[in-house]
Amino acid sequence: MRWIRRYMGYSRGEARGMVGLLVLMLAAIVAPILLRPAAPVYLPESDQKGLDQLAAQLKEHRTAEQGYATRYPKRNYERAGGSRYPQVAQVALTPFDPNSLTAEGWEARGVPRFVAARIVKYREAAGGFKAKAQVKKMYGLEDPVYQRLAPFMQLPDEAPKRAERPEYAANKPGPDGKFPPFTSAADTPGKFPSKPRNLQPFDLNTADTTQLMQIRGIGSGRAKWVVRYRNQLGGYLREDQLDEVFVLRDAPDLRDSLKKYTFVAPGFAPKVVNVNTATFDELYLHPYIGKPRARLIVAYRQQHGPYKQVEDLKQIPILKTEDWEKMRPYVRCD
């Protein structure tokens, strides 16, 4: 320590501190080496004993499962013939009627059991075979089996042709050699009535779907939409409001046909909505109001009191001039 003090110029306390620090550093280096645990020693006898115990447990568990399974033995489908299904004795081929043959009869003629059942099931569903070609198309029936059975089937090779159309069959010569009057398909009443050729214009606000469907190109779906939009508006004031119908937006020719054959009666008064008493649910259903404007109309009414005149609606900030012009005939304030 004197050497350290003399060489390094430390005081006695500094020299002791330095020595203590060196001792601690040395202890930190040596301690892990001295305190390291001993390496584990492999003991094969103990490992083998553990493996034997595990094998014994697995064996007991497997034995218990087998004992449980024996309570429910598998069903034995074996029959006396040694197979699951009894063998059907084969018969010599003779002429037969496919419409009266049972599944066992088909199987006795060399048809596999599942195909025989399929043939009988199809025959019952179709109401019987009309030709050998129907039997040939049966799924699973191999062609060699069909070729062997076909000569003995009491059926024609091909199904008879369909009956001629009534309008042509009716115009064949009768027993006396004369032709009856020709009747075309147009003279026969069809499923859908024909559209009238000379249609007179009718009132758009009183017409029902049947009357609207008389216009060419207007079916039941479009007619219902025209009536539905009319009810939502409260009535049409102009024919050009048909352009707003959802199903007519992309059909300008149909809109022109509707405008051609319909009119709005002069002096027609539409159904109006009272903005002072109507609720939000009643207001937003109108096509020209909608939910955003309905909320503002109700909120403005709650803040400033009832509307004194319809023009007070112009004070709502988001209400544009064109929207106001469209809405004006359909609202009132009492």
CB 138 within 8 Å of CB 118 = yes
- Give CA–CA dist 274/293, Å, rounded: 14
pLDDT of residue 260 exceeding 80? yes
Instruction: Please tell me the class of the 273-332 domain.
Output: mainly alpha
pLDDT of residue 165 exceeding 70? no
Q: Give the tens place of pLDDT for each residue, 177-222.
A: 555 554 444 444 444 556 777 788 999 999 999 999 999 889 899 9
- Give CA–CA dist 196/214, Å, rounded: 7
- Give CA–CA dist 334/307, Å, rounded: 8
Q: How confident is the model at residue 128 (pLDDT cuts 50, 70, 90)?
A: confident
What average pLDDT does the segment 45-60 reach? 78
The SS3 of residue 85 is coil
pLDDT of residue 142 exceeding 80? yes
The predicted structure's pLDDT at residue 64: 59
- Cα→Cα distances 172→63, 162, 183, Å: 87, 17, 12
- Give CA–CA dist 268/231, Å, rounded: 14
Angle at 16 between CA 15 and CA 20, to 5 degrees: 120
Q: Give the tens place of pLDDT for each residue, 61-84.
A: 766 555 444 555 555 544 444 455
Instruction: Report the Cα–Cα distance between both ends of the chain, in Å, rounded.
Output: 112
- Please give the residue that has the higher pLDDT: either 185 or 48: 48
Strands (E), the chain: 202-203, 262-263, 273-274, 331-332
